[in-house]
Structures are given as C-alpha cells and as structure tokens.
Amino acid sequence: MSKYDIIVLGSGPGGYVTAIRASQLGFKVAIVEKESLGGVCLNWGCIPTKALLKSAQVFEYLNHAEDYGLTVKGADKDFNAVVKRSRNVADGMSKGVQFLMKKNKIEVIEGFGKVKPGKKVEVDGKEYSADHIIIATGARSRELPSLPQDGEKVIGYRKAMTLEKQPGKMIIVGSGAIGVEFAYFYNAMGTEVTIVEYMPNIVPVEDEEVSKQLERSFKKSGMKIMTSSEVTKVDTSGKGVKATVKTSKGEEVLEADILLSAVGIKSNIENIGLEDVGIAIDRDKVLVNKYYQTNIPGYYAIGDITSGQALAHVASAEGILCVEKIAGHHVEPIDYGNVPGCTYCSPEIASVGLTEKQAKEQGYDIKVGKFPFSASGKASASGAKDGFVKVIFDAKYGEWLGCHMIGAGVTDMIAEAVLGRKLETTGHEVLKTIHPHPTMSEAVMEAVADAYDEVIHL
C-alpha cells in the first residue's frame, strides 16, 4: 500500500492549490482526480465561460464599431468555433495544472476516490494511506424536481458550454452568476433570451441598486426579465421546450429551443465514503471547524462541500490555510465577511462586504457614496458608461462596510476594497490615497468622496 503524508481528493482550485502548498511545505502528496485536472473551474466553469464571454464581447465590439468611428463589414460569428476556442483554453489550463503537479512532485492518482476508515483512500479498488486526507470534491449543477435535466432540451451549465448548435430562443431559470453570465453570452451571440428568477431581483445576493442596474442593462440589450416568477413544469414532448411560469399576474407559458437550469449547485458528497468513516454532514455540507478539520481526526474538507461561499478563490484559500495548520504554522481563520464576489456578465459585477440593506439591518449609522461611470472620463472614452461604484461606511468610525460595483472591468477593481477592509482602512484614508487619472478605478475614490460630501466630478 502506497503511503503519503497528505492525500487530496479532488483537483479543482481547492484541491490542486492545496496539494501544491502541501508539497511546498515538505509533505509527500498525492491527488486523486476522476476526470480532468483543474476540476469544474478550469474545465467546465470559471475559465471556459470567460473564454465564451470574451468572444461575445469581441462580437459586440464588431457590431458597434461605428460607435468608435470604425467601419466593419460582414462581421459574423461561427458558434462552433467560439465553443472550440473555449474548450482549447480550458484544455490549456488543465495541461498547466499537470505541469504544476510534476513540478511539485505530486503523484496524480486517476480514478474515483473514496475515503475509508483508518486514514485510507480507495481509488477504483486500490488502497492508499496518508496521515492526513483532505476532501475537495466540489459541486455540480443542482436539479429541481420541476426541472429535470435531459441534457438536450433542459440542460445544465456543462451542456450550455458545448451546444452543437446555437439556439434561436433560450429560457434561463435562475439569475445567479451562472445564469446571468450565460444570459449575456447567448444574447450577445444573437439568441433570444428570457430570464426567470424566483426572487424579486436578479442577482439577488447583490446590493439592490446593482440588481436594478443590471436589469436595466439587460433589458436594453433585448432580454426579457421575469422576477418573482417560478417555473412549475416543463414540457419537452414537442420540437422545443414549453415552460409553465407562475407569476404574480398568473400563469404564462414560454416556448424556447433550450431551457438552461441555473438554480444553484449540489455538493459532491455522495458515494465517497463519508458515512463509512463517520464524517458528520448537515444539509448537503461536511461539517468542519475553522481549520477545516472534520469530526474524525486526520480527515479534512474544503471548498464547495463546506459551508463557506462556493467560489474558487475561497476553496484555494481554505486549502492553503488547512495545510499550513497541519504543518504547525500560526494561521488566521478566514474572514468570510471579506470575500469578494465577481460576476462576469456585461456589465460586470463585483462586491465585498455588507449591502446597504444589510448594514442598516445590523444597526449601523452609515454614509453611502455612489459614483456613476457616466461621469468617468475613462468610461466615456471607452464607450462603457453603464454602471457605478457604491461604497458604504460606518458614520461613527469610518469603517469600510461594503463596496459594490457594476460596470466594465470592475472584477479587476474590487481587490482595492478587499485589501482596504483587510487593513481596516477608513473612508478618509481612501479619500486621501491618490488614484490615477483617467482610470475606471478612480471611481472608487470619487464614490468615497461622495459619501463624505467632497465629490469633485459629480
């Protein structure tokens, strides 16, 4: 039986980052993967979707070339070539992870892994042992009873990335990050898109003003948005799909070629041996402490199968903290209140901390500042005036409670707010930090200035 210091089950951005950090710390490491290195994120999530979105953005540029004083004749898209480019990007990233495994002397064990009692892992009938076993098996598309996926007319995100033919009409159920990113992609490529959202606002976890701005932008681009609505049944017996939608005004039947179910994710915790080992779970999540230790010594869990935000960067951070704790380092538990969230539709969304509503509900006396990109020189020059930056501060101490952005490139700007909050900066300190001009990022400074009644360009 092969013996290791650490075995990691799953090679997504939680698993492979954990394995590399463990190797850096001097541990003998193996990683188990049943499919492709990099997991869902690199192969079927974060990375290939961004490749699709970039193609859509370039296509939009070509279609609006006249706005920039340019003439482009005969611009068209090759849907299959767009999908192929996305797959090639994903394949390249997965090969990059293979290289990193070799570089860091991590043994890759291919196959379906299960944890077993006695600090063992079984992979397709063969057993391996380790002092520490870290479970990072991720999640998959969640299926609702009213929306069973057949992989043809009712699909999940994986199929949405590899359709052989572009649909003329598409219904997207759910408007979280997955839903709105695919909504933007297909709409930009020329598909007629309808979004159905159960909550009163699309992207419901975001600040209300951000949600309303995205809805305006999406409607302007030709999408139909149905909020406070629920798909109660689907009929796939005909050529396409018919969805019965319950709304505040009654029932409505929508017809489309494809329905994409984007109603969240389901943890991959079935059939991996948790019950045999006695690892405690609660409502689809593995129970862990702040160092990701389960109730059974020597077994750990990170990423989407635990209760933190189901985000790639969260899984990576959890895995690094977990192995550094195993190595005896002094580690600081993750502050889940300071985790940035990013959505890569157009306009992009990025946020961290409390929304205005949450800050008020928690009893803060707040200062709120907002700066629209329509007043930004860089945004105007770029032809990207949709959106704004919104900041929320505690009026008493100046603590930066939240930052919410919607606009072009804001996912690359949010780190300023995350770092500022980590360092416990105040509104006045941000205000007195010189931001370069002209940039999109100076909208952060201007929004802070607005909160303190010192805004110049508005």
Asked if residue 270 and residue 255 are part of one domain, the reply reads: no
Is 457 within the bounds of a domain? no
Asked if residue 255 and residue 291 are part of one domain, the reply reads: no
Is 61 within the bounds of a domain? yes
Is 212 within the bounds of a domain? yes
Structure tokens at 252: 């409505």
Asked if residue 78 and residue 52 are part of one domain, the reply reads: yes
Can you give the pLDDT at residue 261? 95
Asked if residue 303 and residue 225 are part of one domain, the reply reads: no
Q: Is 255 annotated as a binding residue?
A: no
Can you give the pLDDT at residue 42? 86
**Please, which residues have CB within 8 angstroms of residue 129's CB and are 6 or more apart in sequence?**
1, 2, 3, 4, 118, 119, 120, 121
Asked if residue 170 and residue 92 are part of one domain, the reply reads: no
Can you give the pLDDT at residue 229? 96
Number of compact structural domains in the chain: 3
Q: Is 151 annotated as a binding residue?
A: no
Is 207 within the bounds of a domain? yes
Q: Is 253 annotated as a binding residue?
A: no
- Find the catalytic residue in 64, 329, 428, 437: 437
Structure tokens at 156: 């999940």
Q: Is 176 annotated as a binding residue?
A: yes
Residue 144 β-bridge partners: 147
Asked if residue 50 and residue 130 are part of one domain, the reply reads: yes
Is 456 within the bounds of a domain? no
Write down which residue in 286, 316, 336 finishes a domain. 336
User: Could you confirm whether 313 is annotated as catalytic?
Assistant: no
Asked if residue 35 and residue 109 are part of one domain, the reply reads: yes
Domain of 64, in residue numbers:
2-140+266-336
Is 70 within the bounds of a domain? yes
Can you give the pLDDT at residue 171? 98
Write down which residue in 308, 336, 364 finishes a domain. 336
Is 403 within the bounds of a domain? yes
Q: Are strands 29-33 and 2-9 parallel, antiparallel or unpaired?
A: parallel
**CB half-sphere exposure, 76, CA atoms < 13 A:** 3
Asked if residue 64 and residue 38 are part of one domain, the reply reads: yes
**Residue 147 CA, distance from chain mean position:** 22
Asked if residue 20 and residue 135 are part of one domain, the reply reads: yes
Residue 331 β-bridge partners: none
Can you give the pLDDT at residue 141? 87
Can you give the pLDDT at residue 458? 81
CATH code of the domain containing 292: 3.50.50.60
Q: Is 113 annotated as a binding residue?
A: yes
Asked if residue 386 and residue 314 are part of one domain, the reply reads: no
Q: Is 50 annotated as a binding residue?
A: yes
Can you give the pLDDT at residue 155? 94
Q: Is 407 annotated as a binding residue?
A: no
Asked if residue 415 and residue 313 are part of one domain, the reply reads: no
For residues 224 and 237, give the distance between their C-alpha atoms in angstroms, rounded to a whole number: 24
Place of tokens 């709105």: 180
Asked if residue 126 and residue 232 are part of one domain, the reply reads: no
Q: Is 307 annotated as a binding residue?
A: no
Note down pLDDT in tens along the chain; length 458 residues: 689 999 999 999 999 999 999 999 999 999 999 998 998 888 888 899 999 999 999 999 999 999 999 999 988 999 999 999 999 999 999 999 999 999 999 999 999 999 999 999 999 999 999 999 999 999 998 888 889 899 899 999 999 999 999 999 999 999 999 999 999 999 999 999 999 999 999 999 999 999 999 999 999 999 999 999 999 999 999 899 999 999 988 999 999 999 999 998 999 999 999 999 999 999 999 999 999 999 999 999 999 999 999 999 999 999 999 999 999 999 999 999 999 999 999 999 999 999 999 999 999 999 999 999 999 999 999 999 999 999 999 999 999 999 999 999 999 999 999 999 999 999 999 999 999 999 999 999 999 999 999 988 88
Can you give the pLDDT at residue 369? 97
Is 177 within the bounds of a domain? yes
CATH code of the domain containing 368: 3.30.390.30
The three-state DSSP-derived secondary structure of the chain is CEEEEEEEECCCCCHHHHHHHHHHCCCCEEEEECCCCCHHHHHHCHHHHHHHHHHHHHHHHHHCHHHHCCCCCCCCCCHHHHHHHHHHHHHHHHHHHHHHHHHCCCEEEECCEEEECCCEEEECCEEEEEEEEEECCCEEECCECCECCCCCCEECHHHHCCCCCCCCEEEEECCCHHHHHHHHHHHHHCCEEEEECCCCCCCCCCCHHHHHHHHHHHHHCCCEEECCCEEEEEECCCCCEEEEEEECCEEEEEEECEEEECCCEEECCCCCCHHHHCCCEECCEECCCCCCECCCCCEEECHHHCCCCCCHHHHHHHHHHHHHHHCCCCCCCCCHHHCCEEECCCCEEEEEECCHHHHHHCCCCEEEEEEEHHHCHHHHHHCCCCCEEEEEEECCCCEEEEEEEEECCHHHCCHHHHHHHHCCCEHHHHHCCCCCCCCCCHHHHHHHHHHCCCCCCC
Can you give the pLDDT at residue 370? 97
